[in-house]
Amino acid sequence: MGKVLRLFCLNSESFSWFIGKVRECIGQKSLFIADGATAHKPQLFDNQKLVFERLPAACPELNPVERFFKEVRKQLKHRVFDSLQQAQDRIQTIVEQLFEQEGKVVSLTCFPYLKNSLSQT
């Protein structure tokens, strides 16, 4: 089962904490892909266990998380929530269900260029 971490703000400190949690969860060398947000600092990555790749600017079609979010948004379509908590709980349930479907997250997010990038490091 996957893990869900919520970052309530994205700054260097919270992103550094997040990367530490990611390192704790992975067992093998992994690729971390991020956009150009200023908090996404390459020096947080050691390239031994976690390899950092920055996406080109203004290319959401290359960002694997966009396909994942699209799948989540499909399940939220035409829904109205009574509270922020209710919306967050529903999103967490959707994410957990996606991770429970064997191969679903990989099929949504693992583009050929990602596989090639990790095998070349």
Question: How high is the pLDDT of residue 82?
Answer: 95
For residue 43, give every residue at least 6 positions away whose Cβ sits within 8 Å of its Cβ, in sequence order, or none: none
Question: How high is the pLDDT of residue 38?
Answer: 85
Question: How high is the pLDDT of residue 53?
Answer: 86
Token pair belonging to 93: 């349930």
| DSSP conformation class of 25 | H
Query: Quick check: 41 pLDDT over 60?
Result: yes
Q: pLDDT tens digits for 56-108?
A: 877 777 777 888 889 999 999 999 999 999 999 999 999 999 989 888 888 88
Token pair belonging to 99: 């991770």
Question: How high is the pLDDT of residue 33?
Answer: 84
| DSSP conformation class of 33 | E
Mean pLDDT of the chain: 83
- Give percent of the chain with pLDDT exceeding 90: 21
Query: Quick check: 1 pLDDT over 50?
Result: no
Q: Are 25 and 1 in contact (CB under 8 A)?
A: no
Question: How high is the pLDDT of residue 81?
Answer: 94
Query: Could you give the C-alpha distances from 88 to 36, 55, 93, in angstroms and in order?
Result: 26, 27, 9
For residue 65, give every residue at least 6 positions away whose Cβ sits within 8 Å of its Cβ, in sequence order, or none: 33, 109
